[in-house]
């Protein structure tokens, strides 16, 4: 069997159909029929989660929010709700993709394959290297081309958040909610100030890239 996929879906007919297509595509599906408020240690060893929103037990977005406190496993949302605000909220909470029901199971399989081809940081990785950047997530140290760089707490947490999803756009709102202190500095304008200071400290290597209308992402970068 290939990658192990966790499916969280309470509809028996749809769930059976998805499991069959995933298994037929070479994946190893695990099927939960209700939502669970996860803590570290509860999540099986899986490569990706396919998560319905309207679930018995725990609402899908609450499950996603809890999951993101300890894991960066890719999450693909399934929902009968086609409202843009629902999609935006799911993405801000850390979802990697969003599919609206009804859908073709073949498309779901291809989205799973596409997401698994993209680079992602596994939780156990302590050091991330992106271009000339070397980020020690446990030691809270950063080097650029072998040169140590001193960062504030917020600057490091900002860089670490981007490093956990290299070359993926992370929304400004997500960064505000998960990196900044909401009681003191929780605004997008303040976030932009921290990004500007971080860029100056990283020097001429342009690794923190602006994604206009979305947020920021970490790229290998080039010398200015």
Q: What is the pLDDT of residues 20-55, one digit of tens each?
A: 999 999 999 999 999 998 887 888 999 999 999 989
Determine what percent of the chain is predicted with pLDDT higher than 90: 40
CATH class of residue range 4-116: alpha beta
Where in the chain are the domains? 4-116, 127-218
Angle at 166 between CA 72 and CA 71, to 5 degrees: 5
- Mean local confidence (pLDDT), 180-192: 74
Q: DSSP letter string over 92-114?
A: HTT-SEEEESS--HHHHHHHHHH
pTM: 0.55
**What CATH code would you report for 127-218?**
1.10.10.10
């Amino acid at each position: 069997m290939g990658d192990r996929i966790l499916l969280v879906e309470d509809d028996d007919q749809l769930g059976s159909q998805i499991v069959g297509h995933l298994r037929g595509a070479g994946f190893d599906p695990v099927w939960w029929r209700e939502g669970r408020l996860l803590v570290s240690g509860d999540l099986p060893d899986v490569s990706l989660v396919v998560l319905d929103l309207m679930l018995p037990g725990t609402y899908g977005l609450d499950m996603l929010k809890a999951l993101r406190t300890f894991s960066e496993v890719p999450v693909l949302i399934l929902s009968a709700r086609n409202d843009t605000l629902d999609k935006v909220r799911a993405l801000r909470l850390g979802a990697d993709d969003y599919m609206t029901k009804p859908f073709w199971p073949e498309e779901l399989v291809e989205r799973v394959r596409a997401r698994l081809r993209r680079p992602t940081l596994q939780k156990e990785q302590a050091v991330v290297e992106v271009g000339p950047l070397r980020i020690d997530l446990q030691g809270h140290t950063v080097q650029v081309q072998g040169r140590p760089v001193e960062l504030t707490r917020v600057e490091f947490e900002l860089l670490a958040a981007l490093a956990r999803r290299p070359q993926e756009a992370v929304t400004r709102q997500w960064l505000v909610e998960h990196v900044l202190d909401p009681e003191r500095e929780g605004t997008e304008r303040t976030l932009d100030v921290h990004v500007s200071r971080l860029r100056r400290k990283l020097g001429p290597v342009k690794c923190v890239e602006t994604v206009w209308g979305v947020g920021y992402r970490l790229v290998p970068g080039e010398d200015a």
